[in-house]
Structure 1
Amino acid sequence: MMTHVSDLLHIQRCPKLAWNYYHKIQNPLHYFHMIEPYSNLWKRYLKVEDALHGEVGDTNEMTLQRMEGAPVYLYARFSYQECRTQIPILIKKENGYHAIYPYLNCTVRESEALRFKLNQLIAKHCGIDIVSHEVLLIQKEYVRQETLDLDSLFFRSDCFFNRRNHPSKPIQEVLDAMELDLDEMIQNADLLFDQEAIPMERNKNCTAGRRCSFYEDCFDDSILPEDSSLFLTTSQHKLEAFQQGIQHISDMDLSMIEGSRLQYAQVMASRYGSFMDRCALQTWVRQIQYPISYLDFEWDTFGIPPYPGMKPFDVLCFQYSLHIEDRDQPLDHRDFFGVQDCREAFIQSLIQDLPKSGSILVYNMEGAEKLRLMQLAEQFPQYKEELVSICDRMVDLSKPFETGVYYENRMRGHYSLKNILPLFTDEVSYQQLAIHNGINAVMAYRTFDSVDPQEQKKISQDIRNYCRMDTYAEYIVYHGLLKKLKEE
């Protein structure tokens, strides 16, 4: 099996990550919902729809033959020393070729320089001299009107971008300063991938940013104690402590603990089994007013705005679940499920279903439901006053856990709703559902328009059941906290 430039890039982050990608089949999860393939859009923008293009399995000879005399060539495939790569766009110039890399993003960091340099070197070995580079990006503030304006959506840049998302170093300048031993990199990759298995030691890259998709292939955290030093949140020293053989958070030297409120709660729970700041929890509970609304949304994220008023990477809410609790009244449930451009119907239904007074409990609202409503208020200003009023009544149910007001070792350093629910009940579980996480819900929603009515009915009901579980879980968690306060 041949290697690919992506394999060489993976090795730079983690050899085991590269080995896993090389040997294990993964079904990629596409974060952005695309109504139309992204390649169709940038081809129209660059006016290269009719350009010649490479095919899977092309040899160097086939690529060079097709490129002969072509002013533009797409998906050019090259290989060197059994290492393959593909360059999206090559434009012929007098002194060589100009490469363009389309990104479904608003910026490109300097870390991408290694990909460009490797591609440039491999193409050079095949007789193609790439003398300049450019990236094709998305205008973050573009707002779609009735039709998609590609000239306003896209922009081209010959620079990388810094952490403030401002243009910084010219791409070609960075590439010209890089020196790589391509032969050695390919040889080392071949030696790595020839091994039947490779050992893995934990490092910061395993959980940096988003946890590695192969984390569970490398490590079994279930065998660790519930108060393992590895579970100390936002800690700079937890890996160091674990590698020193310190098993429990309570055994860590205080110089290794930064001292946040949540870390304090974890230390106390490690010593005594659990921790509750009774006064802080009582103060938090006092703000809750009846009727209590338990609210949760489901949404999909679109890379390219599909409907008027939306920006790139905006979300579209297609589902909400609402449980309403009033004094001495049975728990009431209402919900909404919509497809295509259901934004205004979503808003109208939510305004109608929500009680006009009382607290609205939402789990992790700031980066989720509250943000979604403010985006909808911007897209539909006629409802802004009512949507802002809803936001003003929201109370974040995650705060007692996020801030260390309540902590149990069973949380293992996590405070998502799914992690918290088992602390207060063992009678209901997400695993009982056909859809048991948000990713499954989104992927099911994306298939809705392409299946028959019977399957659509099932998808709608499965998503409704999942979202309903979220708000019922909020109800259980809130009353679980009330019960803890009543206990001695």
Structure 2
Amino acid sequence: MLHVSDLVHAEKCEAYAWNCAHRKLPFQSYYHMDVPFSALWKQYLGYQTYGEGHVGQTNSDTLSLLKKYDVVYQARFEYRGLRTKIPVLIRKDQGWLALYPHLSAYPKEEEARFMKLNDQAAASIGVTICDHEILYLNKDYVRQDELDLSQCFLRSKQLFNHRNHLNKTIQECIDETELDLDEWIDKTKPILEGERPEIKRTKACTSGRRCVYYSYCFDESKEPDDSVLFLTTSQYKLDAYEKGIRHIKDMPIDQLEGFRLQYSQYMASRNGGQFADRNAIQSWLSHIQYPISYLDFEWDTFAIPPYRGMRPFDVLCFQYSLHIEEKDKPLRHEDFFESGDCREAFVKSLIEKIPASGTILVYNMEGAEKLRLTQLAEQFPQYAEKLKTICGRMVDLSKPFEAGLLYDNRMRGHYSLKSILPVFSDQYSYQELPVSDGMDAVQAYREFANADPEKQTKIREAIRTYCSLDTLAEYIVYHGLLDLNKEEN
């Protein structure tokens, strides 16, 4: 039995499709959904009488539903062993309107391809799809005390282009789409039914976000720390690796694009493991002022705004960790963790605990902590000035590494805080923690509200321990940079 996702996966990468079919990984939703999305769009549509398809139903079952009801949810179709479903079918004079709810604010024109596939599958049993619509989330909707689905959802007969503008109609996109469904099925079936396909490393394996099956396909644990595979933004590294070049220092000079990061990696490979532009590091360090605050947030993303003042896809900060370093005083730690609508409590606690002066060091802050505070300032304008002041004192601790001021081969081409910490200390590790990364923290937070008191205590401590290690790591990294410059002097 094939599913549409199998076709898409096989087109992307044969090995990926095979892995998805034979080596399923645990699914963890990126979005926090207190209520299933399907329940919300059904409530929005408001139909009291409807039929609904279920897993395992046949074409005959679907035809029976379509004969009995004017509205059918999750209508199942099968074509040559390919299983697919249309979320909503609404009877019209000329056939059926296919409505596609999307947990997105910008369903793209590429979706027309799957709609055309569904049209063909439906047509194979005599069901005519005469029209198409999308249902999507209104990014400009701001929730009040109650969730207003009539404002939260929007409907359209158009799809969004890559600039996030409604452009062509769905029918225009479908008409422009070339699709040979039989050929697609014939190509995909042997991939899933056979042995694991030949593994070939390509740019697609790591472009954007690294493939979740990358470590299953390629064991890089035995590669040298300065492997050419770890060379940042290089279009030549895979060819070099295929030719037997293993170390960055052995890359032909004319195959280095000249980016600052590449230069630091190349010099580290040549110079025994580390490159440091000490003058540039000293210049960066000179802007840091005491007291130094080391700050880190944890948050969850809600597709549907759960509380007043929030928009679709807004985040809710539920944890912060703050280490404070004052001259000639012991390092001290403050933190915050709550569930529910803890936004204002989070803001008030942060304003109270963080020193009124000095530098606030945050790792990779622009798309994270700084953005979170900007959003909170919009939701709680009474604190906007104080939050703006905090943002103005933030300094991004990741910059010396992202700019290539310091590179150590042990980083192996990675620049996350977890990758950099071992360069400066081997006394701390995330690996043994019950919550060891951001997604673990999010999952634990999602379980917190419904857990019993004993379990809540364990979750709270696990999240606090993880987050506090992040800010302690910031302290260690900052002092590692200081020590590096002291050695030179």
TM over 0.5: yes
Contact 1:9 1:115 survives alignment (8 Å): no
Contact 1:289 1:359 survives alignment (8 Å): yes
Contact 1:43 1:49 survives alignment (8 Å): no
CA–CA distance in structure 1, aligned partners of residues 156 and 21 of structure 2: 32
Q: Residue 35 of structure 1: SS of its match in structure 2?
A: coil
Unaligned runs of 5+ in 2: none
CA–CA distance in structure 2, aligned partners of residues 218 and 48 of structure 1: 48
- Match for residue 126 of structure 2? 127
Percent of aligned positions that are identical: 57
Q: Is residue 250 of structure 1 aligned with residue 249 of structure 2?
A: yes
- Match for residue 425 of structure 1? 425
1:49 deviates by 5.3
For residues 274-423 of structure 1, what are the structure 2 equivalents within 5 Å?
A: 274-423=274-423
Q: Residue 431 of structure 2: SS of its match in structure 1?
A: helix
Contact 2:59 2:78 survives alignment (8 Å): yes
Structure 2 residue identity aligned to 1:416: S
Structure 2 residue identity aligned to 1:346: F
Contact 1:9 1:114 survives alignment (8 Å): no
1:245 deviates by 3.2
Q: Residue 482 of structure 1: SS of its match in structure 2?
A: helix
Query: 1:455–1:74: structure 2 CA closer, same or farther, 3 Å change rule?
Result: same
CA–CA distance in structure 2, aligned partners of residues 406 and 178 of structure 1: 49
Q: Is residue 150 of structure 1 aligned with residue 173 of structure 2?
A: no
Task: Give CA-to-partner distance per residue, 1:84-130, whole Å, 9 cap, x none.
Answer: 11110111111111111111111122222222122111111122111
For residues 199-238 of structure 1, what are the structure 2 equivalents within 5 Å?
A: 199-238=198-237
Structure 2 residue identity aligned to 1:322: L
- Match for residue 196 of structure 1? 195
CA–CA distance in structure 2, aligned partners of residues 112 and 202 of structure 1: 28
- Match for residue 184 of structure 1? 183
- Match for residue 84 of structure 1? 83
Task: Give CA-to-partner distance per residue, 1:5-40, whole Å, 9 cap, x none.
Answer: 111111111111111111122221100001211111
Query: 1:256–1:167: structure 2 CA closer, same or farther, 3 Å change rule?
Result: farther
Contact 2:318 2:339 survives alignment (8 Å): yes
Unaligned runs of 5+ in 1: none
CA–CA distance in structure 2, aligned partners of residues 250 and 118 of structure 1: 50
1:211 deviates by 1.2
Query: 1:147–1:368: structure 2 CA closer, same or farther, 3 Å change rule?
Result: same
Query: 1:50–1:253: structure 2 CA closer, same or farther, 3 Å change rule?
Result: farther
Aligned residue pairs: how many? 487
Structure 2 residue identity aligned to 1:443: Q
Q: Is 395-404 or 229-238 further displaced after alignment?
A: 229-238
Contact 2:10 2:191 survives alignment (8 Å): no
Task: Give CA-to-partner distance per residue, 1:290-313, whole Å, 9 cap, x none.
Answer: 111111111001001111111111
Query: 1:143–1:476: structure 2 CA closer, same or farther, 3 Å change rule?
Result: same
1:274 deviates by 1.0
CA–CA distance in structure 2, aligned partners of residues 247 and 162 of structure 1: 42
- Match for residue 115 of structure 2? 116
CA–CA distance in structure 2, aligned partners of residues 317 and 197 of structure 1: 42
CA–CA distance in structure 1, aligned partners of residues 60 and 306 of structure 2: 41
Contact 1:83 1:186 survives alignment (8 Å): yes
Structure 1 stretches (4+) deviating beyond 3 angstroms?
Answer: none
CA–CA distance in structure 1, aligned partners of residues 46 and 153 of structure 2: 13
Q: Residue 168 of structure 2: SS of its match in structure 1?
A: strand
Q: Is 48-57 or 464-473 further displaced after alignment?
A: 48-57
Structure 2 residue identity aligned to 1:210: R
1:226 deviates by 1.5
TM-score, length-normalised on structure 1? 0.97
1:441 deviates by 0.5
CA–CA distance in structure 2, aligned partners of residues 202 and 133 of structure 1: 39
Contact 2:49 2:71 survives alignment (8 Å): no
Structure 2 residue identity aligned to 1:323: H
1:208 deviates by 2.0
Q: Residue 447 of structure 1: SS of its match in structure 2?
A: helix
Task: Give CA-to-partner distance per residue, 1:29-68, whole Å, 9 cap, x none.
Answer: 1000012111111112221354211111111111111110
Q: Is residue 68 of structure 1 aligned with residue 48 of structure 2?
A: no
TM-score, length-normalised on structure 2? 0.97
- Match for residue 464 of structure 2? 464
1:351 deviates by 0.7
Q: Residue 196 of structure 1: SS of its match in structure 2?
A: coil
Q: Is 226-235 or 408-417 further displaced after alignment?
A: 226-235
Contact 1:292 1:360 survives alignment (8 Å): yes
1:453 deviates by 0.7
- Match for residue 485 of structure 1? 485
Q: Residue 22 of structure 1: SS of its match in structure 2?
A: helix
- Match for residue 258 of structure 2? 259
CA–CA distance in structure 1, aligned partners of residues 320 and 94 of structure 2: 58
